[in-house]
Amino acid sequence: MARLSNIHHNVAAFLDMLAVSEIGARMLKESDDGYNVIVGGGRFDSYATHPRKLIEVRPGLKSTAAGRYQLLARYYDPYKSLLGLPDFSPESQDAIAIQQIKERRAIPLIEMGHFTDAVNACKNIWASLPGAGYGQRENAIAGLRMAYTSSGGTLIA
C-alpha cells in the first residue's frame, strides 16, 4: 500500500497497481511492500539513497531499477532535487512516482476513474504496462484493472 496518505484514493490505488505490475503481488508480500526491491528480485538494506546496482536482467539487458516503482538510478538525483527529497524512503518513492504521473498529465484521468487512459498515458515510464514497447514483459490491462480496483480504485461507469 502506498505510504503517502494525503493523496486521492484513486491515485493511491494506481500506485498500488503500478507496484503489482512492476514487481508482482508475491514479491510485494515478500519484501517491504516492494520499496526495498532491486530489479530481478534482490533487496537493498538502506533507504538513504538509490542503491544504484547494475543488474543483468538477461543477456543484453542491464538495469539499475529499484524500489516499488522500479526507478532507474539516472532519474533519482534529478527527482530528488526537483522535489526536495531527503532519501529513497517509501514516501520519497511515492512522491517520485506521483511526479512522473503528473508529467504525463495523468493525475486528472486517474482521479476521474479513466483507468485505461491513465495507463496509456504512463506506459512510456513503466515497461510492464501494456503497450510500453520496451521488449520486456507487459501485463494485460484486465489484470492491472483488477489490481487497481482491489486496492480501492474506482472506474467511471
The mean pLDDT value for 65-77 works out to 96
Task: State the Cα–Cα distance between residues 76 and 49, nearest whole angstrom.
Answer: 9
Work out the average pLDDT over 59-67: 92
37 forms bridges with which residues in the sheet?
43
Class (C level, CATH) for 9-150: mainly alpha
The single residue listed with the C-alpha cell 534482490 is: 42
Q: How confident is the model at residue 157 (pLDDT cuts 50, 70, 90)?
A: low
Q: What is the pLDDT of residue 60?
A: 86
Strand partners, 58: 61
What are 114-147's pLDDT values in tens digits?
A: 999 999 999 999 999 999 888 788 999 999 999 9
- Mean pLDDT, the chain, integer: 94
Q: Per residue in 114-124, is it b (16+ CB within 10 Å) or e — as a string?
A: bbeebbbbbbe
DSSP of 24-53, one letter per residue? -HHHHHTTTTTTTEETTTEE-S--SS----
pLDDT for 20 equals: 96
What pLDDT is stored for residue 136 in this prediction? 82
Confirm whether pTM is higher than 0.85: yes
Q: How many other CB atoms are found less than 10 A from the CB of residue 69?
A: 23
Residue at 103: amino acid letter: E
Helix H or strand E encompassing 11: helix 9-23
The domain segmentation of the chain, as residue ranges, is 9-150
What percent of the chain lies above the pLDDT cut of 90?
81
| Residue whose C-alpha cell is 502506498 | 2
Query: Which residues are identified as catalytic?
Result: 22
- The vertex-142 CA angle with 140 and 143, nearest 5°, equals 70
> Which residues contact residue 25 at a Cβ distance below 8 angstroms, ignoring those fewer than 6 apart?
147
Tens digit of each residue's pLDDT (9 = 90 or more) over 3-58: 888 999 999 999 999 999 999 989 889 999 999 999 988 999 999 999 999 999 88
Model pLDDT, residue 122: 97
